[in-house]
């Protein structure tokens, strides 16, 4: 197993390509990270491999490039990590900082999930299947996160903002993720 000091530096995971986003701030004083929120995203919807998601998180998305992008005007959003279809991982925000990924949210009786979670975006479309390479990268990342944060649970955006968000959706293999990680069901408290 990798030692934390070999894979992490100032909240950045060495295997991920570092792409610092301006869309983050400090977590509230004394609030520890305890969970991970999984999301899915593609821009335009169902289109993979392009620079659009990265551009959105970096505040440089060309809103005229696709008719659906106009709805993103003024949006300031980021995630800590983004896992592409082929498994490549990008990191936008160091894990000790608060990325702006969850929006209006609550989980296990706590509001404002951005305060106490790490956000991981998977390149995909809500409800559709994800690639084996993405699951391999996600498992590696989640195991690495447990080296540096007291990770208690993993949930989807759909679980922390029900009715408002539906990602990653029914195409995500939660049972398979739990098997691959060999983590107890208690780390997936939405089931």
Q: Which residues are catalytic?
A: 121
* Cα angle 50-144-191, degrees, rounded to a multiple of 5: 85
Q: Which two tokens stand for residue 177?
A: 């993720």
As a whole number of angstroms, the distance between CA 7 and CA 14 comes to: 5
Closest alpha carbon to 37 in 180, 176, 184, 172:
172
- All residues at 6 or more sequence positions from 140 whose CB lies less than 8 Å from its CB, including other chains: 15
* Cβ neighbours, 10 Å, residue 73: 8
């Amino acid at each position: 197993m990798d030692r934390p000091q070999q894979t992490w530096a100032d909240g950045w995971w060495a295997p991920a390509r570092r792409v610092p986003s301006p869309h983050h701030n400090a977590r509230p004083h004394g609030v520890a990270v305890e969970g991970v929120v999984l999301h899915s995203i593609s821009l335009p919807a169902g289109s993979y491999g392009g620079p659009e998601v990265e551009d959105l998180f970096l505040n440089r998305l060309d809103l005229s490039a696709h008719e659906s992008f106009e709805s993103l005007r003024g949006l300031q959003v980021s995630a800590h990590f983004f896992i592409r279809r082929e498994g490549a991982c990008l990191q936008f925000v160091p894990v000790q900082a608060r990325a702006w990924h969850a929006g209006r949210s609550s989980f296990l009786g706590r509001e404002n999930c951005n305060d106490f979670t790490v956000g991981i975006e998977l390149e995909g479309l809500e409800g559709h299947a994800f690639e084996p390479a993405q699951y391999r990268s996600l498992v590696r990342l989640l195991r690495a996160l447990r080296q540096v944060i007291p990770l208690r649970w993993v949930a989807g955006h759909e679980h922390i903002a029900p009715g408002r968000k539906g990602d990653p959706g029914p195409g995500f293999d939660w049972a398979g993720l739990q098997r691959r990680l060999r983590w107890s069901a208690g780390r997936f408290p939405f089931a």
